[in-house]
Amino acid sequence: MLRTLTISDSSLSFSPSPPELPSVTKLSAKRVTSQSYEGLFSSLPGLTDIDIDVDDAERDIPQITACLRRTGGQQLTRIELTAVSSLLSEKSSVSRETMRGLGLLIREQTKNLQRLDLRWVKCSDEDLVEIAESSTFLKALDSLHLQSLDGECFEYDRESGFQVKKCRLSTEMTARMWSCLRSFTSLDHLTISDSSLSFPPSPPELLSITKLSAKRVTSQSYEGLLSSLPGLIDIDITIDDAERDIPQITAGLRRTGGQQLTHINLRAPPSLPSEKNRVSRETMRGFGLLIREQTNNLQRLDLRRVKCTDEEDLVYLIECCRHVKTMSCVW
């Protein structure tokens, strides 16, 4: 019985009521003309999996969206739409109207969707956030990958958590994204890289997050980020400028309390210039006081490749760690 249909480098013209292929559950298509999609989708009422390489995002995606609206889309478990890497920039660009149309389809008609993949489409951060917001209505969702042509990326799966990559989010977009993440009730691990996030004074809290991994994140992001994660027990941060980052991290942890923390890992990468891994006595004292006064359950502290003013600062930090009765390892 025919289950998979693959179409490439083709243009198909269908009759108004094309014969149906009810046994086909998977469609793979690349380099197919936009006008082919309407008849193609209406002839495949049993689709659960579609994988399409688009040739002109602003032309193809509205056609695909409209066709899926007409066929229902309720059985779909996987949608993957990819703008091919060789596509010219203007061919991968989509309007806000197109992205909102796709988002409405996801929200209203694909109740059983488990995986959503949208890659290399040129759109704004706001467009990506809107698709992520639509995905929160999918109770069966196991995997989400939204990546723009410029590299901005939101990625989620149940095993590794949620990742934010190469994003520059305004205060409004950060607040919306955080409100969206609150819908992932089983989410416990958040990873952020190569990003800048602006938080409102009282950011939405993600109570389920217990582990944060971060690298190449702007210093101004840390205070709001950490204060939005009151349930953290494990933080692993690669810092880019020790004297700029560590005070922000300290301030963020002071706001959340830090009582649940069991592991703090702060490290400067080996490639960091010497002037970027230096910290002042004031910075080390502030961090030491946080450890002494607020991290009552800390078991492990890793502070690597950070250059202190002198040995006295390290001795002071060790003395602060001695006040934490649960501490088993300082590195």
Query: What CATH number should be reported for the domain holding residue 264?
Result: 3.80.10.10
Q: Which of 100, 126, 157 is the last residue of a domain?
A: 157
Determine the pLDDT at residue 139. Answer: 87
Distance CA 81, CA 102 (A): 11
Alpha-carbon torsion angle 68, 70, 72, 77, nearest 10: -10
Same domain, 190 and 143: no
Determine the pLDDT at residue 331. Answer: 66
Distance of CA 313 to the CA centre of its chain: 37
Amino acid letter for position 132: A
Determine the pLDDT at residue 64. Answer: 93
Residue ranges of the chain with per-residue pLDDT less than 70: 86-88, 328-331
- Provide the β-strand partners of residue 144: 116, 156
Residue reference for tokens 């901005």: 152
Same domain, 106 and 125: yes
The proportion of the chain whose per-residue pLDDT surpasses 90, expressed as a percent, equals: 63
* HEC profile of the chain: CCCEEEEEEECCCCCCCCCCCCCCCEEEEEEECCCHHHHHHHCCCCCCEEEEEECCHHHHHHHHHHHHHHHCCCCCCEEEEEECCCCCHHHHECCHHHHHHHHHHHHHHCCCCCEEEEEEEECCHHHHHHHHHHHCCCCCCCEEEEEECCCCEEEEECCCEEEEECCEECHHHHHHHHHHHCCCCCCCEEEEEEEEECCCCCCCCCCCCCEEEEEEECHHHHHHHHHCCCCCCEEEEECCCHHHHHHHHHHHHHHHCCCCCCEEEEECCCCCCHHHCECCHHHHHHHHHHHHHHCCCCCEEEEECCECCCHHHHHHHHHHHHCCCCCCEEC
Distance CA 118, CA 252 (A): 34
Distance CA 89, CA 104 (A): 25
Same domain, 136 and 48: yes
Q: Which domain holds residue 150?
A: 1-157
Q: Which of 103, 137, 157 is the last residue of a domain?
A: 157
Q: Which of 157, 182, 197 is the last residue of a domain?
A: 157
Same domain, 147 and 171: no
Same domain, 89 and 191: no
Same domain, 181 and 133: no
Same domain, 136 and 170: no
Same domain, 188 and 295: yes
Same domain, 228 and 83: no
Please state whether 256 falls in left (phi above 0), alpha (psi between -120 and 50) or beta: alpha
Total domains, the chain: 2
Same domain, 119 and 267: no
Determine the pLDDT at residue 326. Answer: 77
CATH number of the structural domain spanning residue 61: 3.80.10
Same domain, 203 and 251: yes
Same domain, 172 and 106: no
